[in-house]
Structure 1
């Protein structure tokens, strides 16, 4: 990739640089205790999403707001969610995570779910926050599936289509087809199997209730052995796509990188086992509004570093630094950004 990018300052501890070790480590580490208030946000189509406001919530109506979108089958309890929300709160921000439909405490009402390109609910949320907190600065982050969704939304709405000052994208599978294929090979099939079990569990319940308009029975569901097969049989028909390939093509945010107008930080690891190592070599060059930081190691939403005598999440530290850069919104975007390097410098 000849276009400029930035070298992330993440360094894994000695002996812990393996991509799978980095990916799995966060699940083994203690995460911050974080109470929450849950708010139901009604959607225009009669369904709902759950907003999880981390507590304690600041009383300052002008306090900036950090919005987080989780990954596939993630939640408020995901390790990265706790760490990122806690990091934002530590800086005095209001911190809220939106559960995608069906990912919260209650199943959603309609015979549909959520997907990587489903931007409408997030758009509705930003309108809700703009009406409720019109003067508060707002920055959003999306992790994995949530990152692809957020980047697609930002591209769709342009620089002034959202009440949003900036976006942060973490470990996002911006080429959905290539990522699905990568997850079906080698050790990465362990992650695919884990995700499939979680997805099938929800669909199984709705199939048993006769709540899904799919030509699929429980035996057919059990035989789906890949995310691509699942997306072809479930995700695509439920959400108006003509099969998995049509879904991947229309929902992938990668082709829109050159159209981003909103200040956007993208964090990615070259060894992410959820996507090909050549991911950004096969995507358009990012626009000038994008800062792309690539680390040699880090796995998928891993980025665990040795700091202050123990393992700590670099993502939380990097997020805090990014949010702090918004402390003086009068500074031009380029002045808040570091040195651009070319891939040949790495």
Structure 2
């Protein structure tokens, strides 16, 4: 598909990548509550929690499934903003909490990672059995966007009910984007992620003292170190490099077979050049790529309550659901 021209016009103050990223993540308030939480028992004996959001008219055949970013959860403003936008249009919305991200440690030593598409697959299967939806669309943010795109591109087919998808601020090359995140101008973000992930690892040490040592956790001074110590090993990869190589969605993008929109801001300080797959999009019949000049990382602020990526999700997904 041709590269899409972006109509995003950032307010002047939010042309700063850092200001838009921080405001959207920490200061945005979304007046919206989930309808109910459901615990999904997974086939390997573990669980994850789904936060369901319903429109006033509950008799809908359309569902949006949304995935969050690293160290996130379903209650983040970007998740609630997307849910509110779609329930207002009469859709059901299922917000995924990845394993161990809903406030309770999961049962197994493993948790979640950028390539754990088996969990998304189980959510889709469960949704189809639960309500027999005729139309399912997917939306993902950052790490969850990478997972979503990998899910769509790594398998020969997805259920016919899965009609379209959108991914926002996606590190399509995990290893290269980690190098960007470790640069000095991203110090505050990388420190925040590291602090959150180490806190989770200390909890995991208490539950699995024979699997991970608290002194090894304490010595982790970077996100790479966390992935070397835990993420890669716990999920069956030799090391962090193999994890990044096998789980980066970039290699799967040419194989996507449903209409999919990827929005990555040009000034997103988390992303490497490989996260702007212009050539792949031009050669694809299904991948649409939009590169707004501004927006930072999931910071597409505009006048009014809705953010730009929510407006674009409504346009792109609902147009394909008629």
TM band (smaller chain): over 0.9
Question: Aligned residue pairs: how many?
Answer: 320
Contact 1:111/1:211, CA 8 A, preserved across alignment = no
Are 2:214 and 1:218 aligned? Answer: yes
Q: Which residue of 1 aligns with 2:50?
A: 51
SS of 1:6's equivalent in the other structure is coil
Are 2:255 and 1:259 aligned? Answer: yes
Aligned Cα root-mean-square deviation (Å): 1.9
Farther off after superposition, 224-233 or 25-34: 25-34
Structure 2 CA distance for partners of 1:160 and 1:277, relative to 1, 3 Å: closer
TM-score (norm 1): 0.87
SS of 1:71's equivalent in the other structure is coil
Q: Which residue of 1 aligns with 2:316?
A: 322
Q: Which residue of 2 aligns with 1:30?
A: 29
Q: How far apart, CA to CA, are the structure 1 residues paired with 2:210 and 2:8?
A: 44
**C-alpha displacement of 1:327:** 4.0
Q: How far apart, CA to CA, are the structure 2 residues paired with 1:276 and 1:92?
A: 37
Q: Which residue of 1 aligns with 2:107?
A: 109
Pairing 1:198-209 to 2, within 5 Å after superposition:
198-209=196-207
Contact 2:58/2:92, CA 8 A, preserved across alignment = no
SS of 1:247's equivalent in the other structure is helix
Q: How far apart, CA to CA, are the structure 1 residues paired with 2:274 and 2:117?
A: 26
Structure 2 CA distance for partners of 1:243 and 1:159, relative to 1, 3 Å: same
SS of 1:305's equivalent in the other structure is coil
Structure 2 CA distance for partners of 1:162 and 1:44, relative to 1, 3 Å: farther
SS of 2:264's equivalent in the other structure is strand
Are 2:257 and 1:295 aligned? Answer: no
> How far does the alpha carbon of each residue in 1:54-78 deviate from its partner, in whole angstroms, 9 at most, with x for none?
2456431x43101101111111221
> How far does the alpha carbon of each residue in 1:213-233 deviate from its partner, in whole angstroms, 9 at most, with x for none?
23xx22221221211111011
Q: Which residue of 2 aligns with 1:335?
A: none
Q: Which residue of 2 aligns with 1:339?
A: none
Instruction: Say which structure is richer in helix.
Output: 2
Q: How far apart, CA to CA, are the structure 1 residues paired with 2:285 and 2:69?
A: 26
Matching residue within 186, 201, 223 for 1:227: 223
Q: How far apart, CA to CA, are the structure 1 residues paired with 2:118 and 2:317?
A: 25
Q: Which residue of 2 aligns with 1:272?
A: 268
SS of 1:116's equivalent in the other structure is coil
Q: How far apart, CA to CA, are the structure 1 residues paired with 2:241 and 2:27?
A: 35
Q: Which residue of 2 aligns with 1:334?
A: none
**C-alpha displacement of 1:281:** 5.5
SS of 2:65's equivalent in the other structure is strand
**C-alpha displacement of 1:263:** 1.3
Farther off after superposition, 143-152 or 188-197: 188-197
Q: Which residue of 1 aligns with 2:239?
A: 243
Pairing 1:62-81 to 2, within 5 Å after superposition:
62-81=60-79
Q: How far apart, CA to CA, are the structure 1 residues paired with 2:75 and 2:259?
A: 28
Contact 2:182/2:190, CA 8 A, preserved across alignment = yes
